[in-house]
Amino acid sequence: MNRGRLWNMMDRQKASYRRSMKPVFIKAFDQQIQPLWDKIKQSSDIRDIEVPPLNNKPIEEAYTKLYLATTIDFARAKRKWLQRRLLKSEDEIFEDLIMQKIKTYLRQNAGATVTAAGDTSVELIRQLLKKITPEILDQGLGAGAAQTMLRDRIGSAWHEMKYFRTERIVRTEVNRAANFGNLEGTISLGVPMQKIWLSAFSQHSRKEHMAADAQAVDLEMTFNVGGESLKYPGDPVGSPANTINCLCNFYEKLK
């Protein structure tokens, strides 16, 4: 199969997961910022408002929902496809084993990711308060009107940012979860195979990822991508610069 057509086919499989997860993260970001709205409402002087601890629990729950849905489905589909192609059998997939791997993955990786998302939100709000508060005070508004304007201004900026951040997070994490599931589904068969990096070759593809295209390694080995060792495209052990917004895939072949 043509490599470009193969990548398009794989990306279409992920597209429905990206669509379904976007409203989940939009809602999570709305819930995350709620403590700030409470703080503004309770304040009599907007100059005293500082960024309160945000509610990161909805973000954590959104990440968990994404991985539980995406990884299991891709692991199951990959295993069944390879069974029909290679083994000609319909053995039960080891979903309990895959579930344990997902839980381990989330314990090892999701905490840092959620914390980073929370820290980013805090910094964004801090910068907005620093910029907007003096502008409102210069207008000489009363306390109530100042509160309302502050909430409206921050709300407008947050609304725009949450869609941008959701797009980036969902694109990154669906690709990670799908590739992670594909790898686990393939490994579960116990058949000696190689995995081959498949670059997206999109307008924004990193030159390091395009250079990795067609790189072949054993299943349990890692790809060398931009000097980093990655088990699959989007592997969270890689740096953010090497993994965020990655849309690369991989496929497998018998050794």
Q: Which tens digit of pLDDT belongs to each residue from 170-218? A: 999 999 999 999 999 899 888 999 999 999 988 888 999 999 999 999 9
**Tokens representing residue 111 in the block:** 């905490």
Instruction: Give the model's pLDDT for residue 94.
Output: 62
Tell me the per-residue pLDDT of 116-166, one tens digit each, with 9 for 90 and over: 899 999 999 999 999 999 999 999 888 899 999 999 999 999 999 999 999
**Tokens representing residue 149 in the block:** 């304007």
What is the distance between the alpha carbons of residues 255 and 235, in angstroms, rounded to a whole number? 23
Instruction: Give the model's pLDDT for residue 150.
Output: 94
Residue spans per domain, the chain: 3-190
Query: Considering the entire predicted model, what is its pTM?
Result: 0.84
* Number of alpha carbons in the 13 Å side-chain half-sphere of residue 3: 15
Is residue 136 within 8 Å of residue 146, measured between CB atoms? Answer: yes
Q: How far is CA 57 from CA 48, 54, 82, in A?
A: 26, 9, 37
Ramachandran category for residue 214: left, alpha or beta (phi over 0 → left; psi -120 to 50 → alpha): left
Weakest mean pLDDT among 3-12, 164-173, 223-232: 3-12
Indicate whether 4 pLDDT > 60: yes
Give every CB contact of residue 75 below 8 A, 6+ residues apart in sequence. 93, 95, 98, 181, 182, 184, 185, 188
Is residue 118 within 8 Å of residue 33, measured between CB atoms? Answer: no
